[in-house]
């Protein structure tokens, strides 16, 4: 058995190591176009930012280790350029010499990854415009930042004090994971950073109103956030600095530009070999990671995956799924019945002190698919017991089936305890848990870590109250024409009030029911929708028609600008 693996990073490297463990006798050839195998491309932004100072740290497993421990014939700087499916051979080009050799295979695994999108815009090839995908990319950016003039210094004419001004200005194009991580790292390096994003939100997998909370972190740290404006081109000044031109006609000066507008599957090799591609442009595989050719498997960012929740084919370039797919491909080659279950899109991203976590589809994705059998809740619980120091408010949005209560997706943002909740939601989605299961979940609790009712429980309870009919919910976009009742206390209204809302503090509600109309639908407001829930219960049981406004004033504040 001879197996050739094209691509030596996440999926390919996992496949090679697993295959060797399953088959001591197989001949395994792993070719990698770049100079390194199994490197940590998720760490690249932090290497550029100096958080991970040593480049060597990014090399998770070396070529030497693959040879010595796994007996893999590793060939770096070696690009697979053509497949002859009939002869079962693959042509390999030595990137340095251009020499092409032909390698036979019994099974071929494609793990070529995805390439940063680099649209043919005017000026795109000017010096100082970079992508962040490989170790050499990061090295080039670091060198670029270092070779710039040292910071100008001089005397402040007013105070007479010595001042150091840093002229370095960075423009990051694209507000996804890599874009945001680059923004953070450039801010850490002391650069002035502008983020330009074509969509009207950062972090595209999130719903826009949740992304607003991310934008707040960016703005808090002095990042200029430009939304709804795509890049149209680049020009260069006499001093070598760049201008990033946008579709709306703006120009942003920059000493360094990062293009992080997404990646596209590397399918040239597969396409050239006549392998089936999907509508999204990725290599089509079945649950055994097998392409339309039974002797060719494919894994990682280059393939289309089934969305675990929606069942739709999609592109979700994430390291975790790539690694698991590589492992499954090895199993399949070794004759085992391993199957890939699909991708949930579980992700997490640090942006300054904030953490953005998500699992499962967003509301906008469900809507795009025409799905109407879902509801959503917003909640704002503490990350841990409020009486223990360091508790932070989490913003949670949960999506679930109206018909059967199944959890579909969750978005969690905050500064503490995000991973612990997203992991619980992620496992719940994987196991097809319902909101009733979330209500009864028994998660960790001690004052430094949670509450007796965890945010995940609360999400289940709020959703459960809705589905049981105990708490009719309305969202801020559905309140028009109805009576708004604000049950907060007077000092809270002094800070921010809702125009036209009737005000009765919750503790006075039972005594003042006579002031409310019985012929109108009453939409109840409080800060986070907890007191409004209590008020809604009082109103409903007293014969009023009432709904709780989901997420209260807290949701209003980030929806308002969404």
Q: Which is nearer to a copy of itself, 70 or 234 (CB)?
A: 70
Size of the site for a copy of itself (CB under 8 A): 89
Selected from 88, 93, 169, 324, the binder of a copy of itself by CB under 8 A is 324
Q: Which is nearer to a copy of itself, 54 or 237 (CB)?
A: 54
DSSP characters for 56-97? Answer: GGGBSS-HHHHHHTT--EEESSEEEEEEETTTTEEEEEETTT
Selected from 94, 102, 542, 561, the binder of a copy of itself by CB under 8 A is 542
**Three-class HEC string of 311-349:** CCEECCCCHHHHHHHHHHHHHHHCCCCCCCCCECCCEEE
> Least distance from C-beta 128 to a copy of itself, angstroms?
26
Q: Which is nearer to a copy of itself, 421 or 547 (CB)?
A: 421
> Least distance from C-beta 486 to a copy of itself, angstroms?
16
- How far apart are the C-alpha atoms of 275 and 389, rounded to whole Å? 57
Selected from 304, 307, 363, 454, the binder of a copy of itself by CB under 8 A is 454
Of residues 216-255, which lie at the interface with a copy of itself (CB under 8 A)?
Answer: none
127 binds a copy of itself (CB under 8 A): no
Applying CB under 8 A, which part among 35-43, 210-218, 238-246, 515-523 lies near a copy of itself? 35-43
Selected from 62, 423, 482, 545, the binder of a copy of itself by CB under 8 A is 423
550 binds a copy of itself (CB under 8 A): no
Please confirm, yes or no, whether 15 is among the known catalytic residues. no
Helix axes 208-220, 177-188, angle to 10 degrees: 10
SS3 354: strand
From residue 271 to residue 310, the character string flagging contacts with a copy of itself as x (rule: CB under 8 A) and all else as - is -------------------------------------x--
Q: Which is nearer to a copy of itself, 40 or 408 (CB)?
A: 40
From residue 385 to residue 414, the character string flagging contacts with a copy of itself as x (rule: CB under 8 A) and all else as - is x-xxx-------------------------
- How far apart are the C-alpha atoms of 454 and 246, rounded to whole Å? 45
Selected from 346, 411, 528, 548, the binder of a copy of itself by CB under 8 A is 346
- How far apart are the C-alpha atoms of 97 and 102, rounded to whole Å? 15
- How far apart are the C-alpha atoms of 65 and 75, rounded to whole Å? 13
φ, ψ (nearest 5 deg) of residue 194: -115, 130
Of residues 479-538, which lie at the interface with a copy of itself (CB under 8 A)?
Answer: 506-507, 510, 531, 533-534, 537-538
- How far apart are the C-alpha atoms of 13 and 69, rounded to whole Å? 13
**Three-class HEC string of 255-317:** CEEEECCCEEECCHHHHHCCCCECCCCCECCCCCCECCCCCEEECHHHECEEECCCCCEECCC
Of residues 167-206, which lie at the interface with a copy of itself (CB under 8 A)?
Answer: 177
Selected from 111, 267, 314, 359, the binder of a copy of itself by CB under 8 A is 359
φ, ψ (nearest 5 deg) of residue 118: -135, 85
> Least distance from C-beta 304 to a copy of itself, angstroms?
17
> Least distance from C-beta 248 to a copy of itself, angstroms?
32
Q: How deeply is 311 buried, as exposed, middle or buried, from its count of CB atoms within 10 A (0-12, 13-18, 19+)?
A: exposed
Q: Which is nearer to a copy of itself, 66 or 252 (CB)?
A: 66
φ, ψ (nearest 5 deg) of residue 298: -145, 145
> Least distance from C-beta 242 to a copy of itself, angstroms?
29
22 binds a copy of itself (CB under 8 A): yes
Q: Which is nearer to a copy of itself, 284 or 421 (CB)?
A: 421
Is residue 334 within 8 A of residue 28, CB to CB? The reply is no
Of residues 43-82, which lie at the interface with a copy of itself (CB under 8 A)?
Answer: 43, 46, 51-52, 57-58, 60, 68-71
What does DSSP say about strands 347-351 and 354-359: parallel, antiparallel, or unpaired?
antiparallel
Q: Which residues contact 309 (CB under 8 A, 6 or more apart)?
A: 344, 360, 361, 408, 409, 429
Selected from 420, 462, 466, 485, the binder of a copy of itself by CB under 8 A is 420
- How far apart are the C-alpha atoms of 350 and 42, rounded to whole Å? 12
Applying CB under 8 A, which part among 16-24, 223-231, 283-291, 361-369 lies near a copy of itself? 16-24
- How far apart are the C-alpha atoms of 515 and 130, rounded to whole Å? 64
Catalytic residue among 42, 78, 349, 526: 42
> Smallest Cα–Cα separation from 41: which of 171, 238, 181, 151?
181
> Least distance from C-beta 418 to a copy of itself, angstroms?
8
Is residue 98 within 8 A of residue 305, CB to CB? The reply is no
Applying CB under 8 A, which part among 19-27, 104-112, 116-124, 168-176 lies near a copy of itself? 19-27
> Least distance from C-beta 257 to a copy of itself, angstroms?
23
318 binds a copy of itself (CB under 8 A): yes
SS3 5: strand
> Least distance from C-beta 11 to a copy of itself, angstroms?
10
Sign of the torsion angle spanned by Cα atoms 175, 177, 178, 180: positive
Selected from 379, 456, 498, 526, the binder of a copy of itself by CB under 8 A is 456
> Least distance from C-beta 408 to a copy of itself, angstroms?
14
What's the Cα-to-Cα distance from 539 to each of 312, 524, 536, rounded to whole Å? 42, 10, 5
> Least distance from C-beta 397 to a copy of itself, angstroms?
16
CB atoms within 10 A of CB 156: 10
> Smallest Cα–Cα separation from 108: which of 257, 219, 5?
5
Q: Which is nearer to a copy of itself, 109 or 171 (CB)?
A: 109
319 binds a copy of itself (CB under 8 A): yes
Catalytic residues: 42
């Amino acid at each position: 058995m001879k197996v050739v693996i094209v691509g030596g990073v996440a999926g390919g490297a996992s496949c090679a190591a697993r295959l060797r463990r399953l088959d001591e006798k197989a001949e395994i050839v792993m070719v990698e176009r770049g100079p390194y195998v199994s490197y940590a491309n998720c760490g690249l932004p932090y290497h550029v930012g100096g958080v991970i100072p040593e480049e060597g740290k990014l090399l998770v497993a070396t070529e030497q280790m693959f040879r010595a421990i796994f007996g893999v014939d590793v060939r770096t700087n070696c690009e697979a350029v053509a497949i002859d499916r009939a002869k079962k051979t693959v042509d390999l080009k030595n990137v340095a010499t251009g020499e092409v050799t032909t390698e036979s295979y019994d099974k071929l695994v494609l793990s070529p990854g995805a390439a940063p999108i680099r649209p043919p815009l005017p000026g795109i090839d000017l010096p100082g415009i970079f992508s962040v995908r490989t170790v050499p990319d990061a090295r080039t950016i670091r060198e670029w930042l270092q070779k710039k003039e040292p910071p100008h210094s001089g005397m402040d004419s007013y105070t007479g004090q010595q001042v150091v001004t840093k002229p370095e200005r960075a423009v990051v194009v694209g507000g996804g994971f890599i874009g945001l991580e680059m923004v953070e790292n450039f801010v850490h390096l002391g650069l002035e950073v502008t983020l330009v994003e074509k969509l009207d939100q950062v972090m595209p997998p999130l719903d826009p109103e949740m992304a607003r909370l991310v934008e707040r972190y960016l703005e808090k740290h002095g990042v200029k956030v430009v939304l709804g404006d795509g890049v149209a081109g680049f020009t260069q000044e006499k001093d070598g600095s760049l201008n990033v031109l946008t579709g709306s006609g703006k120009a942003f000066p920059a000493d360094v530009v990062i293009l992080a507008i997404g990646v596209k599957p590397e399918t040239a090799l597969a396409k050239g070999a006549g392998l089936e591609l999907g509508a999204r442009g990725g290599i089509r595989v079945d649950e055994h990671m097998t392409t339309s050719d039974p002797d060719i498997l494919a894994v990682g960012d280059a393939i289309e995956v089934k969305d675990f929740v929606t069942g739709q084919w999609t592109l979700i370039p994430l390291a975790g799924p790539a690694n698991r797919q590589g492992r499954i491909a090895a199993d399949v080659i070794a004759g085992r019945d391993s199957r890939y279950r699909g991708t949930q899109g579980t992700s997490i991203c640090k942006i300054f002190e904030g953490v953005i976590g998500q699992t499962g589809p967003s509301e906008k994705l469900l809507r795009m698919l025409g799905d109407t059998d879902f509801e959503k809740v917003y909640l704002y619980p503490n990350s841990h017991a409020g009486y223990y120091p360091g508790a932070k408010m989490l913003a949670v949005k949960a999506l679930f089936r109206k018909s059967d209560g199944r959890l579909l997706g969750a978005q969690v943002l905050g500064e503490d305890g995000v991973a612990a909740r997203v992991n619980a939601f992620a496992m719940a989605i994987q196991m097809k848990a319902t909101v009733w299961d979330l209500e009864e979940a028994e998660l960790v609790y001690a004052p430094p870590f949670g509450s007796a009712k965890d945010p995940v429980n609360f999400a289940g309870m709020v959703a459960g109250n809705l589905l049981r009919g105990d708490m009719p919910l309305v969202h801020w976009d559905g309140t028009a024409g109805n009576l708004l009742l604000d049950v907060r206390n007077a000092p809270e209204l002094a800070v921010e009030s809702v125009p036209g809302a009737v005000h009765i503090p919750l503790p006075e509600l039972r005594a003042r029911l006579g002031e409310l109309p019985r012929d109108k639908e009453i939409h109840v407001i409080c800060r986070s929708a907890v007191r409004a829930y209590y008020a809604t219960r009082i109103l409903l049981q007293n014969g009023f028609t009432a709904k709780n406004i989901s997420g209260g004033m807290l949701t209003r504040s980030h929806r308002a600008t969404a």
